Structure 1
Amino acid sequence: MTNLKVHAPAPVDLEGDLASLRGDCARMAPHWAVPERVAPVPVSPSRIHGVTVPPASARLLDAMSDYGD
Protein backbone atom coordinates (compact mmCIF):
# COMPACT_ATOMS: atom_id res chain seq x y z
CA MET A 1 0.00 0.00 0.00
CA THR A 2 1.29 3.44 -0.93
CA ASN A 3 1.22 6.25 1.59
CA LEU A 4 0.55 9.44 -0.35
CA LYS A 5 1.45 12.62 1.47
CA VAL A 6 -0.90 15.49 0.80
CA HIS A 7 0.38 18.99 1.21
CA ALA A 8 -1.97 21.67 2.49
CA PRO A 9 -2.68 24.42 -0.04
CA ALA A 10 -1.16 27.83 0.44
CA PRO A 11 -3.12 29.99 2.87
CA VAL A 12 -5.77 32.10 1.20
CA ASP A 13 -6.23 35.71 2.16
CA LEU A 14 -10.00 36.08 1.87
CA GLU A 15 -9.85 39.64 3.15
CA GLY A 16 -7.24 40.67 0.57
CA ASP A 17 -7.59 43.70 -1.60
CA LEU A 18 -6.73 44.42 -5.20
CA ALA A 19 -3.14 45.29 -4.31
CA SER A 20 -2.56 41.87 -2.72
CA LEU A 21 -4.13 40.15 -5.72
CA ARG A 22 -1.87 42.08 -8.09
CA GLY A 23 1.13 41.13 -5.95
CA ASP A 24 0.15 37.46 -6.10
CA CYS A 25 -0.15 37.70 -9.89
CA ALA A 26 3.23 39.44 -10.17
CA ARG A 27 4.87 36.65 -8.18
CA MET A 28 3.28 33.99 -10.41
CA ALA A 29 4.02 35.71 -13.74
CA PRO A 30 7.56 34.28 -14.08
CA HIS A 31 6.07 30.76 -13.90
CA TRP A 32 3.81 31.30 -16.92
CA ALA A 33 5.24 30.55 -20.34
CA VAL A 34 4.02 32.65 -23.25
CA PRO A 35 3.73 30.70 -26.49
CA GLU A 36 5.36 32.17 -29.56
CA ARG A 37 2.98 34.02 -31.82
CA VAL A 38 2.41 32.06 -35.01
CA ALA A 39 0.97 33.81 -38.03
CA PRO A 40 -2.13 32.04 -39.38
CA VAL A 41 -1.73 30.29 -42.70
CA PRO A 42 -4.32 31.24 -45.32
CA VAL A 43 -6.76 28.48 -46.25
CA SER A 44 -7.24 27.75 -49.91
CA PRO A 45 -10.82 28.25 -51.15
CA SER A 46 -10.94 24.61 -52.29
CA ARG A 47 -10.83 23.51 -48.64
CA ILE A 48 -13.77 25.69 -47.58
CA HIS A 49 -17.05 23.79 -47.68
CA GLY A 50 -20.63 24.69 -46.85
CA VAL A 51 -22.41 23.81 -43.66
CA THR A 52 -25.31 21.38 -43.64
CA VAL A 53 -27.96 22.02 -40.99
CA PRO A 54 -30.77 19.53 -40.34
CA PRO A 55 -34.25 21.04 -40.92
CA ALA A 56 -35.22 20.72 -37.23
CA SER A 57 -32.12 22.63 -36.18
CA ALA A 58 -32.72 25.26 -38.85
CA ARG A 59 -36.27 25.82 -37.52
CA LEU A 60 -34.91 26.09 -33.98
CA LEU A 61 -32.32 28.66 -35.04
CA ASP A 62 -34.88 30.55 -37.09
CA ALA A 63 -37.12 30.82 -34.02
CA MET A 64 -34.30 32.24 -31.87
CA SER A 65 -34.02 35.97 -31.36
CA ASP A 66 -31.16 37.80 -33.01
CA TYR A 67 -28.93 40.15 -31.07
CA GLY A 68 -30.73 43.33 -30.08
CA ASP A 69 -34.27 42.00 -30.52
Structure 2
Amino acid sequence: MTNLEVHAPAPAPVDLEGDLASLRGDCVRMVPHWAPPERNVSLPVSPSRIHGVTVPPKSAGLLEAMSDYGD
Protein backbone atom coordinates (compact mmCIF):
# COMPACT_ATOMS: atom_id res chain seq x y z
CA MET A 1 0.00 0.00 0.00
CA THR A 2 1.26 3.50 -0.85
CA ASN A 3 1.61 6.10 1.87
CA LEU A 4 0.04 9.32 0.54
CA GLU A 5 0.75 11.39 3.62
CA VAL A 6 2.22 14.77 2.67
CA HIS A 7 3.96 17.09 5.10
CA ALA A 8 3.39 20.67 4.02
CA PRO A 9 4.03 23.80 6.07
CA ALA A 10 1.03 25.05 7.97
CA PRO A 11 -0.64 28.08 6.38
CA ALA A 12 -0.12 31.43 8.05
CA PRO A 13 -2.94 32.44 10.40
CA VAL A 14 -5.57 34.64 8.79
CA ASP A 15 -6.32 37.94 10.50
CA LEU A 16 -9.98 38.60 9.71
CA GLU A 17 -10.01 41.72 11.86
CA GLY A 18 -6.95 43.35 10.27
CA ASP A 19 -6.44 47.02 9.78
CA LEU A 20 -5.78 49.03 6.64
CA ALA A 21 -2.03 48.45 6.90
CA SER A 22 -2.46 44.67 6.86
CA LEU A 23 -4.85 44.94 3.89
CA ARG A 24 -2.29 47.03 1.99
CA GLY A 25 0.37 44.46 2.86
CA ASP A 26 -1.83 41.68 1.47
CA CYS A 27 -2.30 43.66 -1.74
CA VAL A 28 1.44 44.28 -2.09
CA ARG A 29 2.10 40.55 -1.76
CA MET A 30 -0.50 39.80 -4.46
CA VAL A 31 0.82 42.31 -7.04
CA PRO A 32 3.27 39.83 -8.64
CA HIS A 33 0.33 37.49 -9.30
CA TRP A 34 -1.66 40.10 -11.21
CA ALA A 35 -0.82 40.85 -14.81
CA PRO A 36 -2.32 43.74 -16.77
CA PRO A 37 -4.43 42.67 -19.73
CA GLU A 38 -2.86 42.76 -23.16
CA ARG A 39 -3.53 46.09 -24.82
CA ASN A 40 -6.10 45.47 -27.51
CA VAL A 41 -6.07 48.30 -30.03
CA SER A 42 -9.16 48.40 -32.20
CA LEU A 43 -8.53 49.16 -35.83
CA PRO A 44 -11.08 50.97 -38.00
CA VAL A 45 -13.51 48.73 -39.86
CA SER A 46 -14.48 49.39 -43.43
CA PRO A 47 -18.19 50.33 -43.72
CA SER A 48 -18.59 47.62 -46.36
CA ARG A 49 -17.90 45.00 -43.64
CA ILE A 50 -20.69 46.24 -41.34
CA HIS A 51 -23.84 44.22 -41.90
CA GLY A 52 -27.15 43.85 -40.09
CA VAL A 53 -27.34 47.29 -38.50
CA THR A 54 -30.78 48.83 -38.80
CA VAL A 55 -31.89 52.21 -37.53
CA PRO A 56 -35.58 53.08 -37.30
CA PRO A 57 -36.50 56.00 -39.59
CA LYS A 58 -37.63 58.11 -36.62
CA SER A 59 -34.22 57.72 -34.93
CA ALA A 60 -32.37 58.37 -38.18
CA GLY A 61 -34.34 61.59 -38.66
CA LEU A 62 -33.55 62.68 -35.09
CA LEU A 63 -29.84 62.07 -35.62
CA GLU A 64 -29.88 63.81 -38.98
CA ALA A 65 -31.42 66.90 -37.35
CA MET A 66 -28.67 67.10 -34.70
CA SER A 67 -25.63 69.24 -35.23
CA ASP A 68 -22.26 67.50 -35.51
CA TYR A 69 -20.81 69.01 -32.32
CA GLY A 70 -23.87 69.49 -30.13
CA ASP A 71 -26.10 72.46 -29.65
TM-score normalised by L of structure 1: 0.46
> Greater CA radius of gyration, 1 or 2?
2
